[in-house]
């Protein structure tokens, strides 16, 4: 889990009001997340591995490594 820093947005990140564009940490796809449209967050439309949630005060990005893994070595 990491959070966007409004004062230090990356080259492939943007954040304006209730909307944020983030870069998938898994595949590099840039996708839009809205606090209004995606109340429970949105997964990367390309790979689905990374997801982001916009709230009033922060943009949280969940990476695949954050998810609980049932099997480390399938």
What is the closest distance, in whole angstroms, from the C-beta atom of residue 28 to Zn ion in the complex? Answer: 7
- Interacting stretch for Zn ion, rule CB under 5 A, among 10-18, 32-40, 47-55, 63-71? 47-55
Write out the binding residues for Zn ion, residues 8-37 only, by CB under 5 A: 24, 26-27, 29
Q: Is 70 exposed, middle or buried (0-12, 13-18, 19+ CB in 10 A)?
A: exposed
Cβ count near 42 (within 10 Å):
19
Nearer to Zn ion, 11 or 57 (CB): 11
Nearest alpha carbon to residue 14 among 25, 26, 6, 24: 6
Look at residues 58, 24, 21 and name the one whose alpha carbon lies nearest to residue 44. 24
Minimum distance of Zn ion from residue 59's CB (angstroms): 16
Residue 43 sits in the site that holds Zn ion (CB under 5 A): no
Interface contacts to Zn ion, rule CB under 5 A:
24, 26-27, 29, 44, 46-47
């Amino acid at each position: 889990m990491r959070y966007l820093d409004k004062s230090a947005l990356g080259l492939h990140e943007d954040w304006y009001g209730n909307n944020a564009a983030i870069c998938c940490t898994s595949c590099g796809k840039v996708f839009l997340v809205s606090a209004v449209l995606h109340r429970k967050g949105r997964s990367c439309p390309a790979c689905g591995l990374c997801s982001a949630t916009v709230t009033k005060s922060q943009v949280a990005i969940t990476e695949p490594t954050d998810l609980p893994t049932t099997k480390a070595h399938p």
